Chain A
């Protein structure tokens, strides 16, 4: 039981490049989330998905797209990376029986130069 996994762990991009951050959970959770963490800003919600086939914008969705491929996987895509997207990205999941507790992945540290 791996919980929430994220790939890659580290990534360096040049401005304008694109990439997809992958997230998967094996807990049969319905909801999944993408957050970014920046110093002094806490965790800010980018997108979330309450169930397979649905996605909703969070606090800072601009510059990102997401895909809820199936119940297990939720990917985050940067179409044209910008230095302002340098951050640590966390994926999380939430199940109906966990009574509100989110489970977080280990994070992806992204640097855009």
Chain B
């Protein structure tokens, strides 16, 4: 069975500073990995996904993530955050294309400090 661990429940960061949100997964088979964002009082929106190929994936709003198979990680980064990035971020994992079960982490709340 797959699982996801988001190591930080909350991350405070100053506006225009870089940020990294950490995600580790476990699975015995190859995986698809996702980051979703949930703005206050809204639903979930896909930021980016890794299915195969290049380990560095770029998403919307200037976010990117790097898949690291040896460390079983998929950390999300942004070089300069804005107040509009205040949201909760969720990492999710799916066991490749053969299994439709998709598991989410507990989320990381990003606080942007002025």
Chain A residues near B (Cβ < 8 Å): 30-31, 33, 35, 40-45, 48, 50, 56, 58-59, 90, 92, 94, 99-102, 104-107
Question: With an 8 A cutoff between CB atoms, is B103 at the interface?
Answer: yes
B32: chain A residues within 8 A (beta carbon): 100
A35 near B104 with CB under 8 A, answer yes
Interface SS majority for chain B? strand
A107 near B43 with CB under 8 A, answer yes
B51: chain A residues within 8 A (beta carbon): 99-100
B49 near A100 with CB under 8 A, answer yes
Partner of A48, one of B6, B49, B92, B100: B100
In chain B, residues 74-114, which have Cβ atoms closer than 8 Å to a Cβ of chain A? 90, 92, 94, 100-107
In the complex, A107→B51 CA distance in Å?
A: 27
| Nearest Cβ on chain A to B60's Cβ, whole angstroms | 12
Question: With an 8 A cutoff between CB atoms, is B11 at the interface?
Answer: no
B100: chain A residues within 8 A (beta carbon): 30-31, 48, 50, 94
Known: A100-B34, A101-B46. A42 touches B102 (CB 8 A): no
Question: With an 8 A cutoff between CB atoms, is B44 at the interface?
Answer: yes
B106 near A102 with CB under 8 A, answer no
B101 near A45 with CB under 8 A, answer yes
Across the A-B interface, give the 8 residue pairs with the lowest CB-CB distance, nearest first.
A42-B106, A43-B104, A50-B100, A31-B100, A42-B107, A104-B44, A100-B32, A104-B43
B34: chain A residues within 8 A (beta carbon): 100-102
A106: chain B residues within 8 A (beta carbon): 43
A48 near B106 with CB under 8 A, answer no
| Nearest Cβ on chain B to A21's Cβ, whole angstroms | 15
Partner of B49, one of A40, A43, A56, A101: A101
In the complex, A50→B46 CA distance in Å?
A: 20
Known: A100-B32, A100-B34, A101-B34. A44 touches B104 (CB 8 A): yes
